[in-house]
Amino acid sequence: MRYKSAARSAAVCAVMTALLIAVQYALGFVPGVELVTVFFLCFCVAYGTACGMLTATAFSLLRCILFGFYPNVAVLYLVYFNAFALLFGMIGRRGKPIAVWVCPLLLLPLAAGCAVGAALGLPVSVLYRARLSAMLWALFGVLAAVLVLYLLLTAVRRGAAGREAAALAALAALCTVCFTLLDDVFTPLFYGYTPSAALAYFYTGFFAMVPQTLCAAVSVLCLYPPLVRVMRASRGAALRGEKKPFVPRKRASNDGRTQKDVL
């Protein structure tokens, strides 16, 4: 039974990996639009951390084979999507809606830190101080926008299910921001960019981050309830299949009738 459960989990992860690859390939030509986040988020919430991390690793490696292998992109995807699966798998394992104060508790310190760093100035060269300050103010604006978006979504989507969708939408937007920032830090360090080139790379990624963040928030808000319901139903059907193994029925024996005929 244990081997059957492992085989079923591997099959589920393989199907989800293929779905993520198909979604990314189908929408790769549309700038600023991506649905990988909402599909993978619902999968991690429904199936848990173990299946989520296995799918994250398979997806990260397979997309690098299909779309071109770059060491920095492979490491970036492996780190980000495994952390993503760990976070939302733990959220799904709780079985309770996310508390209202969780998202503000995450967003407020980050936004305040960016504002303080931009206002007071960081101990860097005078040549890069103005650019770094502008970068921090831009990041502060994005985090503040995500916080306002969460408050608006919480006000519009009432009830436990609405608050859960709003909280997950805000967390998905925050994860998208963190993915771009992680790329802005890791890629310049990996290739040895100069400070000017690193700032130019940040601004390029920043303009691509804004529509992706909005798309992640809106897609999770709209598609999370039906998708997670379908995935939880499929997982429940699989678990019921494990608990009730197939037992062939025994055929009726004719031994007694044969003995009576002999007598």
pLDDT digits (tens, 9 = 90+) for 15-69: 999 999 999 888 878 877 889 999 999 999 999 899 999 999 999 999 988 888 8
**250 located within any domain:** no
| Residue 37 confidence (pLDDT) | 93
Position with higher pLDDT, 127 vs 233: 233
| Total tally of structural domains belonging to the chain | 1
Q: 50, 55, 57: which is closest to 13 by C-alpha?
A: 55
Using alpha carbons only, give the angle 233, 237, 243 rounded to the nearest 5 degrees.
140
**6 located within any domain:** yes
Query: Exposed, middle or buried, 140 (CB in 10 Å: 0-12/13-18/19+)?
Result: buried
**249 located within any domain:** no
Radius of gyration of the chain (CA): 25
| Residue 83 confidence (pLDDT) | 94
Of the listed ranges 6-10, 35-39, 105-109, 174-178, the least confidently predicted one is: 105-109
Three-state SS for 229? helix
Average pLDDT estimate for 137-147: 79
pLDDT at 199 over 60: yes
Three-state SS for 62? helix
Residue 76 pLDDT class (50, 70, 90 cuts): very high
**259 located within any domain:** no
| Residue 125 confidence (pLDDT) | 61
pLDDT at 258 over 70: no
Looking from the CA of 230 toward its CB, the CA atoms found within 13 Å total 7
What are the φ/ψ torsions at residue 219 (nearest 5 degrees)? -65, -40
**110 located within any domain:** yes
Mean pLDDT of the chain: 79
Residue pair 167/97 in contact (Cβ under 8 Å)? The answer is: yes
pLDDT at 249 over 60: no
**212 located within any domain:** yes
Residue 1 CB contacts under 8 Å (≥ 6 apart), including other chains: 242, 245
What are the φ/ψ torsions at residue 89 (nearest 5 degrees)? -65, -40
**261 located within any domain:** no
pLDDT at 150 over 60: yes
How far is Cα of residue 109 from the mean position of the Cα atoms in its chain?
22
| Residue 7 confidence (pLDDT) | 82
Range of the domain at 165: 2-243
Amino acid 202 reads: F
pTM of the model: 0.77
| Residue 262 confidence (pLDDT) | 46
Residue 211 pLDDT class (50, 70, 90 cuts): confident
Position with higher pLDDT, 207 vs 230: 230
How far apart (Å, rounded) are the C-alpha atoms in residues 114 and 101?
20
| Residue 204 confidence (pLDDT) | 77
**160 located within any domain:** yes
| Residue 251 confidence (pLDDT) | 54
DSSP alpha helices (H): ranges in 95-194? Answer: 102-120, 126-156, 159-191
| Residue 212 confidence (pLDDT) | 84
How far apart (Å, rounded) are the C-alpha atoms in residues 262 and 247?
33
pLDDT at 84 over 50: yes
